[in-house]
């Protein structure tokens, strides 16, 4: 989780950098697209961090239980 938070911090630092004003149309568009994709990646990471934190809290509170292994299925129980 710390690695994800570190990655988000790095992405935010990169997005905060100004875009070179001397870039031509297509270069500027590509740079803006890269910034947009970086921001979306940061958003996705933040969502995953939140899900992971909630999962950890649920485990600590005992809200998540192990899946039951029923052992024998229908075919095994009815095999002769």
Structure pTM?
0.67
DSSP 8-state class, residue 50: H
User: How many alpha carbons fall within 13 Å on the CB side of residue 2?
Assistant: 0
Question: Rounded CA gap, 47 and 55, in Å?
Answer: 12
Q: Is residue 20 part of a domain?
A: yes
What confidence score (pLDDT) does residue 68 get? 57
Does 28 fall in a domain? yes
Q: Print the domain residue range for 54.
A: 2-61
Per-residue pLDDT of the chain (80 residues; tens, 9 = 90+): 788 889 999 999 999 999 888 888 899 999 999 999 999 999 999 999 999 999 989 888 887 766 655 666 677 667 76
Q: Evaluate whether residue 66 is within a structural domain.
A: no
């Amino acid at each position: 989780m710390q690695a994800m938070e570190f990655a988000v911090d790095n992405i935010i630092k990169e997005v905060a950098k100004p875009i070179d004003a001397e870039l031509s149309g297509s270069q500027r568009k590509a740079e803006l697209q890269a910034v947009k994709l970086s921001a979306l990646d940061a958003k996705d990471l933040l969502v995953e961090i939140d899900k992971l934190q909630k999962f950890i809290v649920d485990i600590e509170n005992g809200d998540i239980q192990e899946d039951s292994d029923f052992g024998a299925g229908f075919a095994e129980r009815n095999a002769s």
